[in-house]
Structure formats: C-alpha cells, structure tokens
Structure 1
Amino acid sequence: MEVSAIAPGIYRHVSYGRLPNIGYYPSNGLVLVHDASAYIIDTPWQVADTRKLAQWIADQGWTLKASISTHYHDDRASGIAWLNAQGVDTWASAQTNELLASQGDALAKHTFSGEGQWLWSEQAYAWYPGGGHTADNIVVWLPQAKVLMGGCLVRAMQTQSMGNTRDAVMSEWGDSALRVLDRFEDAQFVVPGHGDVGGPELLMHTADLAEAVNREIVDDE
C-alpha cells in the first residue's frame, strides 16, 4: 500500500487486489485530514491494508474518526468490519448497506438515503448520481480542496474500457457521469477508482466510453 499527498489535507492511498488473468491491480482511496482528525474515503482492497492505513494515520498523530465507502465491492468496503471493531464510525448509503447485507458482509454503522449527505462538519459531501459501475455507486466531494472522489463510477484516462461490468447499470452510467460533471464542474482533482488522478475530463471520458459500449449493445441487438 502507498500513500501520497494530492492536495492540502488530502492523501491518496493505493492498495492492491489480485484479479484473475491480470494479477495484482491498484485501487485508489483517500484520506481527508481536518483539525488532526482523519477520515477514510474507501477502505483499501485488503483488510490487512486497512490496518496498515490506520497505523499510518496514527503515526502522523491524527485520530481516525470515520470512513465512507462509495459502493459495496471489496475494493471500497472490505475494511468496514475491522473499522467497526475499532470503534470507527463507518458510513455508506442505505443502498450500499442493503447490497452488503445481501452478500453477508459487515454493514456500515451509519447510512443515508436520498440524493446526498453532508458529513464530518461539512468537510465532505456524499452524492448519488445514479447507477453506473454498480447500482449504488456514489461520489464524495471535498469542497475545501475541490477534490472529487469519483470511485469506480469514473474511469481513468489511460483506460479504453469500462472495466468490470458484472454489476454495472450500463444504461445509466454515461448520464450519471455527466450529472457528476455538471454538479462538480469546478473540481480541480478527480480521483477514479483505479488509475491516475485527473480533472473533470475523466468524467467526459467515462461518459464517452459508456456511450460507445451502449452503441455496441444496440448494434448487437
């Protein structure tokens, strides 16, 4: 696992999961720091790396207060059970908790429903734009630094595919990305679930990729 600063008080953590026929594959998450309190946006892929990240936070002299997961897959939510056991406030949308429950996975302690939710003294805003990579994917806006955690709704510029579409809502994905672009058009940094950090152009790139896939689906029909 690697941690690096991308903006004042905002750190990207990169962890790895093993995928069939691919090998180890990197996954992005964030740590937000405010007044010596730390908040994790998407836990690392492996539980062991969530423990390492929590230790790194403690080593900086910060107190880990809470986390939020942007959807229910392991690369976003595998650390929830361990964080719950440490007394950390875990957050997810009500839809994400329902999907975690359907798999028998640990649930976040706190949920929200509806379109959006301010968190942690309005340091972060969780927003649901519609389906995409999954039915429950949300984004998290960090207004002080103008950083948007797009999660797996957002594709990196270096990729020309939609990645894992097993649980995707392809009919909504492109429109969801454009809604995020419209809502957070002043974002300076956009963090995809996997790959390099970019700007708002990642959202248009995602919408273009989704449109191409949907055209292929129509043509095949």
Structure 2
Amino acid sequence: MKFPPIRFLFTAAFCVTTASQAPASDSADMIPVEFKQLSESVWMHTSYKHYEKFGPVPANGLIVAEGTQSILIDSGWTDAQTDAILDWARDDLKQPVTRAYFTHAHLDKMGGVGAVKSRDIETYALELSNELALANGLQPAENDIHLSVGQDVLSVGLVDLFFPGGAHSHDNLVAYVAKDSLLYGGCMVRSAASKRLGNTQDADVLHWDTAIGLVKQRFPQVDIVVPGHGAPAGPELLERTQVLVKRHVD
C-alpha cells in the first residue's frame, strides 16, 4: 500500500499542522517540516537548511510509532525544527517521542539534540558519534551505543540499529524496521537522483562499498529504503550507491 506525501496543511489526522512550523533562523527554516507516512508504523520527517551554493537542502529522519509512544531517528537541522517534529509526534500523531537515536555526528542528524534533551527524552548515539559531536561543535547524546562493525544489532522496540563501519562518515548507523521491511540508510545511502557521493569530507570512501555490502547481508529483505537526503525508493538505492562509490574510487 502506498502512502501519499504529507506536505502542507490538511484536516486529516496525520497532517502537518501549525505546530510543525518552526520559527525561522534562516530562509530554509521558513519551510515547514514535512511528514510522509511510509508504512503503518513509520513516518519520515524532512527539514531544510539553506546553503548559498545549493539553496534549501532537505534532510530526512524517522518517527517509528509503537503503542502509545514513538522513537525518533535523527533530528532536524536545528532545535526549532526538532521542536516542531517532537510537537507533531505528541499533538498530531498522539504518540510522543520517548527515545531518540542519532545515526552520525553531522548537523543534519544531530543539530537538534538540544531540543530533544530539553524535554528529558532519552538520547543515544554511537560512542564515536558522541565524541565527534563534541569535536564538531554539536551536542552529544546522553548515552553511548557500543556496536562492533558488521556484527552486533541493537534492537529497540521495532527498530534494529546496525553499524556497518565507515561510509559517508566513520560513525554512520543504519536503522531497520523488520515488520515493514524498511531500511533507513541515512546519509550512507544516496537517492536515485544523486549523480555523485556528495560531501565526502568525513567519509571512509574505501570502506563504503563494503559497508553497503554488510547492510545487504544483515538485512536481505528490504522493500523500502530511506536515504538521508532525497526521496525513498526500493533496494535499488543500495546498488545505486555502490555504483557511485566505485565510480568515485576509480
């Protein structure tokens, strides 16, 4: 079953409301945070940051709902955007976020950690991510995650967290929701529209292909793949990313 994108103000129960419109700190913050239902349990949130060279750049994260609560995977770019995401989960979805997990220490994934902490929501990231967050001027999560490369899986409710080693960054996690065969690849997975790997300043390009291979091996049943930037699609995004990696290395 396909779920349509939810972008503006509607009267449906799961629409974007005025609570989702964060105060502006730059022109991209004028764009309301967007929500799209990907499965029965999973919503994608998309927020924007303006870069002079590229214009408004979208970044994705997830809200995974179960029972009376939900789990946040990655923040918005800013505290204001993240407040809008948390408000929406509480007020519109009626399943407030009680735990938050961050997939790597870049602004598009951990820029709103402060907003999450301010609500006494438990925050988690790889120990390496928390170290890099401090080095990058970001707030770290309160709790460290310890995962061996390509081996361990941390199961949190409906979500399995897996560390395939360095790719887009040295600390990138992926998240998998088995009941929906949904993989959140974050920024280690490129969208179908991508022509190159994007920002590789903190990348482990030589391990990137291996990292994708480890993800495919660990989670062989994948129907929906959510990249860190751009539209969700199917498992072909994993293949697409490997092509781009090999092209970059060659």
Runs of 4+ that moved beyond 2 A: 114-121
* Structure 2: runs of 5+ lacking an equivalent: 1-32
Q: Which moved more, 1:106-115 or 1:71-80?
A: 106-115
- Show CA shifts across 1:158-180 (max 9, x none): 11110111111111111111221
**Number of residue pairs the alignment of both structures matches:** 214
- Show CA shifts across 1:14-67 (max 9, x none): 110122311111111110000021111111122211001111111122221011
Give the aligned partner of residue 19 of structure 1. Answer: 51
TM-score of the pair, normalised by structure 1 = 0.93
The correspondence for 2:106, drawn from 65, 73, 76, is 73
Give the aligned partner of residue 207 of structure 2. Answer: 172
* Structure 1: runs of 5+ lacking an equivalent: 216-221
The alpha-carbon deviation at position 117 of structure 1 amounts to 4.1
With over 3 angstroms needed to count, the CA separation of the structure-2 counterparts of 1:178 and 1:117, relative to structure 1, is: closer
Identity of aligned residues (%): 29
Give the aligned partner of residue 34 of structure 1. Answer: 66
Give the aligned partner of residue 184 of structure 2. Answer: 149
- Show CA shifts across 1:76-99 (max 9, x none): 011111211110011101110110
The correspondence for 1:188, drawn from 199, 206, 223, is 223
2:202 is paired with a residue whose SS is: coil
The correspondence for 2:89, drawn from 57, 64, 74, is 57
1:144 is paired with a residue whose SS is: helix
The alpha-carbon deviation at position 118 of structure 1 amounts to 2.3
Kindly indicate whether the alpha-carbon contact (under 8 Å) linking 1:32 and 1:40 is maintained by their aligned counterparts in 2. Answer: yes
The correspondence for 1:118, drawn from 151, 154, 158, is 154
Kindly indicate whether the alpha-carbon contact (under 8 Å) linking 1:37 and 1:63 is maintained by their aligned counterparts in 2. Answer: yes
What RMSD over aligned residues (CA atoms) do the two structures have, in Å? 1.2
Kindly indicate whether the alpha-carbon contact (under 8 Å) linking 1:185 and 1:200 is maintained by their aligned counterparts in 2. Answer: no
Give the aligned partner of residue 117 of structure 2. Answer: 84
Give the aligned partner of residue 4 of structure 1. Answer: 36
Give the aligned partner of residue 218 of structure 1. Answer: none
State the AA in 1 paired with 2:37. Answer: A
The equivalences for 1:91-130 within 5 A come to: 91-115=124-148, 116-121=152-157, 123-130=158-165
State the AA in 1 paired with 2:154. Answer: W
| Matches of 2:154 and 2:169, distance apart in 1 | 22
With over 3 angstroms needed to count, the CA separation of the structure-2 counterparts of 1:20 and 1:173, relative to structure 1, is: farther
State the AA in 1 paired with 2:177. Answer: L
